[in-house]
Amino acid sequence: MSKLPLMTRELDDVIAWRAGRTVTAAEFIFQARWLADRLRREDQVINLCQDRHTFSLAFAAAILAQTTTLLPANRLPDTVDALVNRYPGCLILSDQAIDGLHHPMLDPGMALDQSGRAEQVPEPDESLLAAVVFTSGSTGPSSAVEKPWRTLHDSSLINAAEYGPQERAHVLATVPPQHMWGLETSVLLPWFGPAIIASAQPFFAADIIALLDQLPRPRALVSTPIHLRNLAESGFDIPTIDRIYSATAPLGAKLAGELERQTSARVTEVYGCSEAGCLAHRRAARDEPWQLFKAFSLLEDHGQFRVHAEHLPEDVTLLDHLDVLDDGRFRLAGRHGDLVNIAGKRASLAELTQRLLDISGVTDGVIFQPPENDEGRVTRLAALVVAPQLSERQIRQALSRRIDPAFMPRPLRRVPALPRAESGKLPHQSLVHFYQQVCEPAR
């Protein structure tokens, strides 16, 4: 059976920054092996660790124990309960107690007390089912995506080559490691590229800035549009950042340009999906077309596109419409199910939402198609908007200058916040439930 190394870093390379000290690959592997010895009887583990370094140790330990890690879309008790019912006997790994969760848990943090160094990099079987990632449900029900070790290993090498940060860059991530974007960039990338990952997972702008201030340069920020918008509009002085990487939702050119102005960073937007991982990138501030990674190829079939790559178990059908240019680059033309047709006019919900987000004073928002009403008829578009300093009338006036009247959302409601997941995504079921609470009684 073929084997592939756990990482391509040298044993003396620094791969992590935790609690004010550096961690070498040799230390990391030693602690992961120690923890793996305590997981030998487990078929699956659910990794709920919030500290990124502890999560990484637990993830590596599970691989070394030939155990599959289950990565739920969130840490809610109902989500975890459903996963435990689906995979009886699995062990929960968590570095914090979780209210409402009563299953047996093991704290991987105990491995942090073990000191020593590995003498070689282990080589797991390439066919090992290393992870099962559960999608966020932003476009429908959550689904399970299987990730063999070969897929994770090869995709990490591809990511490091295509958009990896500078040599010895210190990387801060706002996204949870359980999410595919967080897993690829803040867990696996330091195993295969010259990055040093910070263990924290900040959310608020002040916390992001404080942690960036502690990191030596060069430094990079891995984040999402919602976190980056809050950062850009915080009014705080942001330290110099060398690279900013964004994914999980469209990043507007206006916001990307503002981030580059405030931080001096080059802002790279990455496109991908849970099934295929990261597969294209672009300079977001210039609103350039997407450049496909060299390892991937696009296959068109009746207007729908699949991506092919040797490291993927099978071709992956994309949910987005693509406009492929003569030079092989492409533009996103909306997601399947994202395009709406009203009065003979077509528009993308993502594009309409971006027009809403471009309004000064709007800190978050979404334009979407509500579910059918009781008579089975589809209602008009609706909008939920976070804009503390604007009235609904002011929002409508500003929006009327940006979109066709046919797509003006009714109802449009100001709300304190949207029900976003930790990853910054907006799960479809959460959005529908929130809409029913906020909008339908008032209609």
Q: Is the pLDDT of residue 67 over 60?
A: yes
Any idea where the domains of the chain sit in the sequence? 14-332, 339-442
Strand (E) or helix (H) holding 343: none
Concatenate the DSSP letters of all residues of 23-69 into one string.
EEHHHHHHHHHHHHTTSTT-SEEEE---SHHHHHHHHHHHHHTT-EE
108, 53 Cβ separation under 8 angstroms: no
Digit-coded pLDDT (tens) for 3-57: 999 999 999 999 999 988 999 999 999 999 999 999 877 789 999 999 999 999 9
- Which tops the pLDDT comparison, 142 or 301? 301
- Which tops the pLDDT comparison, 56 or 167? 56
Q: Is the pLDDT of residue 90 over 70?
A: yes
**Any idea which architecture 14-332 has in CATH?**
3-Layer(aba) Sandwich (3.40)
297, β-bridge pairs: 308
What CATH class does 339-442 carry?
alpha beta
Q: Is the pLDDT of residue 76 over 50?
A: yes
356, 365 Cβ separation under 8 angstroms: yes
pTM of the model: 0.85
Q: Provide the pLDDT for residue 369.
A: 86
Token pair for residue 241?
A: 């950042």
- Which tops the pLDDT comparison, 317 or 336? 317
240, 263 Cβ separation under 8 angstroms: yes
- Pairing between β-strand 219-223 and β-strand 195-198 as defined by DSSP bridges: unpaired
Q: Provide the pLDDT for residue 345.
A: 67
Question: pLDDT band at residue 187, thresholds of 50, 70 and 90?
Answer: very high
Digit-coded pLDDT (tens) for 377-407: 455 899 999 999 999 999 999 998 888 888 8
**Of the listed ranges 106-120, 176-190, 362-376, the one predicted with least confidence:** 362-376
Concatenate the DSSP letters of all residues of 401-417 into one string.
TTS-GGG--SSEEE-S-
3-state secondary structure of 288: coil
- Where do the DSSP E strands lie in 254-296? 266-273, 277-283, 291-292
Q: Is 142 exposed, middle or buried (0-12, 13-18, 19+ CB in 10 A)?
A: buried
